[in-house]
Structure 1
Amino acid sequence: MKRFTQGFYAYAFAMAVCLAAVGVFLLITPQSRTEHIPEVDYSISLANLRRAASYQVWAPERVPAGWVPTSSRATDEKGTATWRLGFATAKGPDDKRAHAMLAESNEKPAAEFANRLANTSTVTGTVRIGGVSWEQRVREDKNQRSLVRFLPDVTLVVTGTASWEELSTLAGSLRQQEKVTP
């Protein structure tokens, strides 16, 4: 009895029993290989923002097939209305998704809002999307690309790890929403 409770062989035997138990557990536990991305309905956030914001809200009219809205948060604090709407893009050729986010706000100064969301104040170029000009910004160390548009009453930032093409698609899908009166 002593040989199973003391010494190297007892330790090795106990480890073997533990590893065998873990192996059996892994074999009988169901494993899911399918991707699960939580999807949100952003219509309530959008409706609340359309009522609360002092500006006409911009929202995507239609996003590409395979895009999943993953987050939506609208806030209205001291007259500053902000909306952040996140998407997981469709799977690319490498079978991976990227992330894209629309952020809009009437926060002043507008440049501070844009710089914070883009994680940089450096403009690397401009691009025309849907007939309007957007600033391009890149933060290489975070693999983040951003499109910024300053309007008189609101700042729009489309940002994320998505490609320029995907970000441009999201920016091009934005349509001004009618103001809802409370």
Structure 2
Amino acid sequence: MAPDLRQAGHVMSEYSRANATFKNYAISLGVVVGILLVMSFVVSARSGENIPTVDYRPDIEVLRQAADYPVTAPSDELPEGWIPTSSTLDTTGPVEWSIGFATPRDSHAMLTQSDADRDTVVESRAKDAEPVGTVMVGDQEWEHLDSDDWGALVLSDDERTLVISGSTSVDEFAILAEHLESFPVPEDEDSGADESEDDA
């Protein structure tokens, strides 16, 4: 009895289609696995990134003793993701303190306060950024300076100048400005003793 070639061809055709379908599935699965491996590597590299951190809190008291103006520093309520990377304090001339941060958006921002000449402080921190308007943070109006790759917010009074500057967005500048707190100038202990003697 001769074999039924039509039936054999039909079986072979079904086998070929099934084999091709499995092959395509395997290829697709391989592509997906490859993408997941790349994503896993990127996430692992980011999580393992060694960003240097500093504790700037001790500088607050040092500055309070040296400065004739209220010290401003980030509060404990600053959102997660703001990583302090530097703290530079200079009390030899104009009293100036700068704190650098890595921001949640993988950029950089710096808070500077100084009792040096306002224009000098702004020029050194804002670089080539030009005034473009103002930004309200709470009840304070900050001057906004901007350029293609740099920006700053500036707040000044008769005592000192505050500058938040860096390569990040004005939105992140505003977040930092919103989470600042002030520490008053310490009372003079000798003055307090004199007042006590007068009261006596």
Instruction: Report if the CA contact (8 A) 1:46-1:74 is conserved.
Output: no
Other-structure match for 1:81: 95
Please identify which structure carries the higher helix content: 2
Corresponding residue to 1:68 among 83, 94, 97:
83
Other-structure match for 1:177: 183
Corresponding residue to 1:133 among 117, 141, 144:
141
- Structure 1, gaps ≥5 residues long: 1-31
* Alignment of 1:49 onto 2:63: yes
The superposition leaves residues 100-121 of structure 1 with CA deviations (integer Å, 9 ceiling, x where unpaired) of 110010002x112112210136
Corresponding residue to 2:150 among 144, 147, 152:
144
Other-structure match for 1:116: 124
Q: Which amino acid aligns with 2:92?
A: E
Other-structure match for 1:37: 51
CA distance in 1, matches of 2:129, 2:165: 13
The superposition leaves residues 41-63 of structure 1 with CA deviations (integer Å, 9 ceiling, x where unpaired) of 00111111111011111111132
The superposition leaves residues 7-58 of structure 1 with CA deviations (integer Å, 9 ceiling, x where unpaired) of xxxxxxxxxxxxxxxxxxxxxxxxx831110110001111111110111111
| Structure of larger gyration radius | 2
Residue 180 of structure 1: how far off its partner (Å): 3.2
Aligned residues: 142
- TM-score of the two chains, using structure 1 as the length reference: 0.73
Corresponding residue to 2:107 among 98, 105, 109:
98
How large is the Cα RMSD of the aligned pairs? 1.6
The 1:85–1:145 alpha-carbon spacing in structure 2 relative to 1, beyond 3 Å, is same
Q: Which amino acid aligns with 1:47?
A: E
Q: Which amino acid aligns with 2:163?
A: V
The 1:181–1:51 alpha-carbon spacing in structure 2 relative to 1, beyond 3 Å, is farther
Instruction: Report if the CA contact (8 A) 1:60-1:173 is conserved.
Output: yes
Identity of aligned residues (%): 35
